[in-house]
Copies of this chain bind each other. A is one copy, B any other.
């Protein structure tokens, strides 16, 4: 490759982002170079801006640009519900659903004996604090349906048992989902939770 050193370094850095590889990084960088005034400089400025201002909410672990995120700061969201998610991406997915009106707690992963992740690494003590100090009536465990996700959900449920109502998301067929494309566990769960019509 004969692009000069900065261009190669930029391609290498982009190629390390999740979801990108060397080929898509090269295409993205060429695209940006072609539109360097219109696209690349604004993107660089925005990225520098976010790198300076982004931080994790001290209360819930959401990302934002203030010590306490917009959701935690909003009195409207103080409805007594906390939805526990593994990751900020899950929080964003919940928000796109426009159905949940409460606050969140982002664990930052799942318990994992293998990777030596214990409750302290996961903001679980902070969750227990919040249940005691905020007026929490319900904790919704919206963890992924993986072994580690469910282990973590059970651990949290044990810790909070008797203090709040504990719920989890319903399992079933996604809207528009074709049975043929669903895994067996989902079909079984949807059957077990069947409703009369």
Verify if A69 is at the interface (C-beta below 8 Å from B): yes
Q: Is the CB of B3 within 8 A of A63?
A: yes
Q: How many copies does the complex hold?
A: 2
Main secondary structure of the interface of A (DSSP, over half): helix
Verify if A92 is at the interface (C-beta below 8 Å from B): yes
Verify if A117 is at the interface (C-beta below 8 Å from B): no
- Chain A interfacial residues counted at CB < 8 A: 59
Verify if A134 is at the interface (C-beta below 8 Å from B): no
**A-B pairs with beta carbons under 8 Å apart, 25 shown:** A1-B96, A2-B62, A2-B70, A2-B95, A3-B62, A4-B65, A4-B66, A6-B53, A6-B65, A10-B46, A13-B43, A18-B27, A19-B24, A19-B27, A20-B20, A29-B50, A30-B87, A33-B50, A33-B54, A37-B51, A40-B47, A41-B48, A44-B51, A45-B48, A48-B48
